[in-house]
Structure 1
Amino acid sequence: MGDRLILTADDENIKAILATQFGSYGKGPQFRKEWKDFLGLSIFTTDGEMWHDARQLLRPQFIKDRVSDLQIFETHVQVLIPLLAGPANGAKVRADDLFFRYTLDAATDFLLGGSVNSLHQPNSDFAEAFTTVQHVQGLIARAGPLQGLVPKKKFHAGLKVLNTFIDKYIDQALALSPEELEKRTKSDEGYTFLHAIASYTRNRAVLRDQIVAVLLAGRDTTAVTLSWLFYELSKNPKVVAKLRQEISTHVGLSTDKTPSYSDLKNMRYLQHTLNEILRLYPVVPYNVRVALEDTTLPHGGGPDGSEPIAVLKDTPVGYSTLVMQRRPDVYPTASTEFPHYLEFVPERWDTWQPKHWQYVPFNGGPRICIGQQFALTEMAYTVVRILQRFERIEERGDG
């Protein structure tokens, strides 16, 4: 309870933690212990050689050929859109809940080749178990030395549901010989992310841990960003109109016209809109690393905090990309050319580019989000398909 904790929103400190002093900071053994039941020894819990091996295992699965296959998104967005339209009586819908179910369905389909179909079944065992496990895991992480007091009965029951579901697909993948797995390619029917990594390892624990880790990131990253984006679009009808105009130019507004990967990348205003929402609402607003050795940070020492500061081994260092990306001193003074930094204005990206370490919505350095392009592609595709169907976005509040 009395341990030292360093908090920072300084871009030079964040750069040091994530890149220039990468070897001095990591997840640490305590994080691994707290998250092991849920995420095992996955890319999100390990350091050093074990982390490097996990990264090398997963990286090939996020190359352009994999993330540019848009059919999975199309399958599930066709279920999402009628639900966003709401019931015939005009009752409100919770778009954020629908986005979380949509991204869970797409992620399980991409990873395993079988969706949990939570859009069709809001109370599916898997979706409820996943939410429960995440909730309790958050309590465990925040409880620190009091985590033994956190009730874990529902947590372990939820883990059993998750593991049973995933084990079924691991069994199917491992039923194929290494030679059969190696011969399979992306173009083969039924080829999945799991098949790809099973061709490199037959260790069930490794397969399970990496799948759960990527599933966690694959659901939350996109769902949270889409929720914030459509909240801002509900307050900015001019942005909606400009997006629809760009969609009309590049793809067409008819719902039978689907965008290609190159269409998404060529829609400049769409890309600027995603940049802007990630500037105001970065994917992981707060994160923690632990000093793996006695080390330093560039700023925080001296009378005014501008000098280096010592960081002893095992000291947790929390950094906030949300606070850093909302610091007034990292932006030009508000003017007719540059709107106030707290306003949602995608047009600012027409003429302005942030300094690299002052805009890191997906983190940076060697641990930069491995699924960044997958998430951005899913977001862009989803926005286009929704705005082809709807002319305006409304936020009705709680009334």
Structure 2
Amino acid sequence: MAFVSGGFGRSPSGRRKATRLGARLVPRVQGEWPGNLDKVVDIFMRLENEYLGQPALDEMKELGPTLNFRFFWEDDIMTSEPQHLKTMLVTDHQNYVKGVKFGKAVDSVLGTGVFNSDGETWKLHRTMTRPFFNHDRMSHFEIFDRHVNRTIALAKERFKMDLAIDFQVGLQLGILTSLLKNCPQDLISRFTLDSASEFLFGHCTDSLSAELPFPRNTGESTDTIQRDIIAAFSDVFSQAQHAISRRLILGSTWPMTEILADSTAQDMKVVSEFLDPIFEAALRRHSTAAKSDENNTAGNETLVDHLVKLTSDFKVIKDETLNILLAGRDSSHPGW
């Protein structure tokens, strides 16, 4: 599913513009409150227990695969039509930019990385990171095999207890991550985060070490203190993604909800506490490395090692790796 901000409104001028282009207006979601406020409230309430894309999918059952949510009088077009997705992501992607509104909403989490840039800046970031993902490196599956085996073992332990697990294969709504609010409890999310962080940084977030949550109807209690300590990075990174998803739903009005505080600030502080020492150490290694040391690490170079060879700009390195880590949790992410 893809999300596009903007479109033809149903005003007379919007109708005339659509007619000139030989287009027809996208079916619009009709709420009962002004600005579709009731629809916005419903989405936020459902975020507690459902996938982010589920409300849109429910509306599509009634209106078709392409619709206009029009939150707070802003046209927000959503589509699951394969040909539309192909146009936006492949054949005409240069005309579907992220834009200023999107950039402001996600800047506090993704900065100016590959998924939050357009035009020449996007090309620069893509040029920096793409060579790292060559065939030889991608064919080495030892890291992923190890985490797969660990994930399967955790699942088997619960199955022996005749208990369900939160496996949760996520859907996708463009960059709006289709994750539940309690995403760190998702077994597959933990697997992708641990394997991606070790592959990209050389440091595993180790979220699989935290105890899996028990189903609510079992009477068993989860050691939340242990989970919060071990899986802190997984928790806060997921919550930061959730925060920017809320911003995108609210559109241009989202800054009004964060007048007192940036909703991502505390989460990103924890993320930085985990990642900043990794980047700083990589920069130090690169600046002082002898030729022999470089040869010794050439075979197991991480993305961070690759980036410090191209730039010493700390923010560029951090933004780029966070963007790729996000993609590691959703490998079909648009923009790459």
TM-score normalised according to structure 1 size: 0.52
Whether the 8 Å CA contact 2:191–2:208 is kept in 1: the answer is yes
Report the residue type matching 2:303 in the other structure. F
Show CA shifts across 1:128-173 (max 9, x none).
1112111111111111132124355652110001112110100110
Q: Secondary structure at the match of 2:115?
A: coil
Answering whether residue 284 of structure 2 is matched by residue 213 of structure 1, we say no
Residue range with higher mean Cα deviation, 154-163 or 198-207: 154-163
**Is the Cα contact below 8 Å between 2:200 and 2:321 reproduced in 1?**
yes
How far residue 101 of structure 1 moved from its aligned partner, in angstroms, is 0.5
Correspondence for 2:155 among 73, 79, 84: 84
| C-alpha spacing 1:15/1:91, structure 2 compared with 1 (3 Å) | closer
* Distance change >3 Å, CA 99–CA 7, structure 1 → 2: closer
Of 162, 186, 190, the residue aligned with 2:271 is: 162
1:177 matches 2:286:
yes
Structure 1 residue 32: Cα displacement: 0.9
Find the residue that maps to 2:207 and give its secondary structure.
coil
Alignment of 1:194-205 (within 5 A): 194-205=304-315
Q: In 1, Cα distance between the equivalents of 2:316 and 2:95?
A: 25
> Which consecutive unaligned segments of at least 5 residues does structure 2 have?
1-71, 169-185, 211-226
Change (3 A) 1:129 1:185: farther
Amino acid at match of 1:176: R
Q: What secondary structure sits across from 1:95 in the alignment?
A: coil
CA contact (8 A) 1:178 1:199 kept: no
Query: Retained in 2: the 8 A contact 1:72–1:109?
Result: yes
Query: Counterparts of 1:5 and 1:104 in 2: how far apart (Å)?
Result: 30
Larger relative contact order, structure 1 or 2 (CA cutoff 8 Å, min sep 6): 1
Matching residue of 1:35: 106
Give the CA deviation at 1:125: 1.4
- SS of residue paired to 2:278: helix
Q: State the partner residue of 1:108.
A: 197
Which amino acid counterpart does residue 289 of structure 2 have in structure 1?
Answer: E
Matched, 1:74 2:145: yes
Shift of 1:18: 3.4
Q: Deviations over 1:57-80 (max 9, x none)?
A: 011111111111111112212321
**What is the identity, as a one-letter code, of the residue corresponding to 1:180?**
A
The answer to whether the Cα contact below 8 Å between 1:42 and 1:210 also exists between their aligned partners in 2 is yes
Question: Aligned residue for 2:129?
Answer: 58
Calculate the TM-score normalised by the size of structure 2. Answer: 0.61
Shift of 1:8: 5.0
Partner residue in 1 for 2:46: none
Question: What is the SS of the residue equivalent to 1:119?
Answer: helix
With over 3 angstroms needed to count, the CA separation of the structure-2 counterparts of 1:186 and 1:111, relative to structure 1, is: farther
Question: For residue 219 of structure 1, what is the amino acid of its counterpart?
Answer: R
Alignment coverage as a number of residue pairs: 226
Q: Identity of aligned pairs, percent?
A: 28
Aligned-residue RMSD, C-alpha: 2.6
Structure 1: give runs of 5+ residues left out of the alignment: 222-282, 285-362, 370-399
Distance 2:107 2:302 in 1: 25
Matches of 1:212 and 1:181, distance apart in 2:
28
Take 1:43 and 1:66, find their aligned partners in 2: how far apart are those partners? 20
The 1:52/1:178 distance shift into structure 2, 3 A limit, reads farther
Answer yes or no: is the 8 Å Cα contact 1:181–1:198 preserved in 2: no
- What is the CA–CA distance in structure 1 between the aligned matches of 2:303 and 2:205, rounded to whole Å? 16
Asked whether 1:120 is paired with 2:209, we answer: yes
Once the two structures are TM-superposed, the CA of residue 220 in structure 1 deviates from its matched residue by 3.1
Q: Mark the CA change 1:30 to 1:61 in structure 2 (over 3 Å): closer, same or farther.
A: same
Provide the residue aligned with 2:251 in structure 1.
144
